[in-house]
Amino acid sequence: MGDAKTDVPTYYNSRFDFGVDDKRRIQIPARWLPQDAGLELTLVLWPRESAGACVRVLPPAQMAKLMQSIGEMPNSDARKVVLKRLIGSGSAQATVDKAGRICLPEEMAREAAIQDKAVLVGLLDRFEIWNPERYAKVQAADASLAQEAFKLME
């Protein structure tokens, strides 16, 4: 996602702590907001074995890449249909409102244990919305793998 006039990409970096209102609306950081009014983001309930689910937020370009990669999987692989079903049934479209917020669907918020507080975590080309306690567990697990992960960049 970038500005249509200059085609500058949006980078989802940093971490933000926000409150969640009683309608399950979450503020999106200003620098992460889509430049095009009415642009839809895809919310995917994303499972994590040890910490529990979070909500992964995909801009249109990343959703298109996900769809392409699933489409390229062999039809003979039964996991393809399972993956399509899990992502299809565990996702929703969200439009950023005039105040810069998105609304989490009730079931998705419940599965991700997001209630009155949320942590938005940048993944560079997309971002995740976490329950703060679950994110603390993920952060600890990430720290244990950090040295190995940074070796990928050497």
Q: How many CB atoms lie within 10 A of CB 142?
A: 12
**7 pLDDT band (50/70/90 cuts)?**
low
CB 119 within 8 A of CB 16: yes
Residue-wise pLDDT tens digits, 68-97: 999 999 999 999 999 999 999 989 999 999
Residue-wise pLDDT tens digits, 26-44: 999 999 998 877 789 999 9
Question: Which domains are present in the chain?
Answer: 15-151 (3.40.1550.20)
- pTM (2 d.p.): 0.87
CB 62 within 8 A of CB 126: yes
Q: How long a stretch of residues is the chain?
A: 154
How far, rounded to the nearest angstrom, does the alpha carbon of residue 66 sit from its chain's CA centroid? 13
